[in-house]
Amino acid sequence: MPDYLAHEGLEHAEKAHEHLAGTSDPVLRYVPLVAAALAVCAGLSSLYANRLSETMLLRAQAAVLDQTQAADTWNEYEANSLKAHVESAAQVLTSDPATRRQLHAEEGKYRKRQQPLMVEAKRLESERTAALSGVDALEVKKFDFDVAIALFQISIVLASIAAMTKRSPLFLIGFIGGVIGLAFCVVGLLR
């Protein structure tokens, strides 16, 4: 969703104020004030939604880095496993006891390296999973703010149309839309 600029909503409020000069409808007198308040809410919601997007991107990048490091660690684990198998096979093929002891020592060295590598790879995979879960949670939160921004924008337009046509029911619908937008903001903040 594109950034919402608060000055766009304030322009709507100014135009509404001009159209309502001299109106006798007490409800419509509040159109400029409500439109301005909705514009501020839309601007702040847009700013917060953008910050959520940036945080989601950073966490997704961290997840990719953790996944890459985990894959590298698993590759190193497998390489040590292969080397240990080669040393084991070589022990079977040699008849010299000294060479056999040396090959057995090499095999043990490679086997010892595997356990810490496995622990590290699993830790990195766990961090990747946590980062991705964080991205999912932020995406749900951002959706709430995106809906709120859309509701604020629609409400500002309805209030402006109400001012131009001098129809208070449109203003009330816009006001209700703004209140629902505020509810989405509160839900998004509490998630």
Helix, strand or coil, per DSSP, at residue 26: coil
Q: In this predicted structure, what is the pLDDT of residue 65?
A: 97
What whole-number distance in Å separates Cα of residue 171 and Cα of residue 168?
A: 5
Q: In this predicted structure, what is the pLDDT of residue 3?
A: 60
Q: In this predicted structure, what is the pLDDT of residue 12?
A: 64
- Residue spans per domain, the chain: 6-190
Q: In this predicted structure, what is the pLDDT of residue 28?
A: 81
Q: In this predicted structure, what is the pLDDT of residue 184?
A: 97
What whole-number distance in Å separates Cα of residue 178 and Cα of residue 152?
A: 5
What whole-number distance in Å separates Cα of residue 182 and Cα of residue 137?
A: 20
Other Cβ atoms closer than 10 A to 52: 19
Q: In this predicted structure, what is the pLDDT of residue 1?
A: 47
Tens digits of pLDDT across the chain (191 residues): 456 565 666 676 666 666 656 666 778 888 888 999 999 999 999 999 999 999 999 999 999 999 999 999 999 999 999 999 999 999 888 889 999 999 999 999 999 999 999 999 999 999 999 999 999 999 999 999 999 999 999 999 999 899 888 888 999 999 999 999 999 999 999 98
Helix, strand or coil, per DSSP, at residue 25: coil
Q: In this predicted structure, what is the pLDDT of residue 32?
A: 87
Q: In this predicted structure, what is the pLDDT of residue 104?
A: 92
What is this structure's pTM? Answer: 0.72
Q: In this predicted structure, what is the pLDDT of residue 23?
A: 63
Distances (CA, A) of 65 to 59, 117, 125, 137, 181: 10, 17, 10, 19, 37
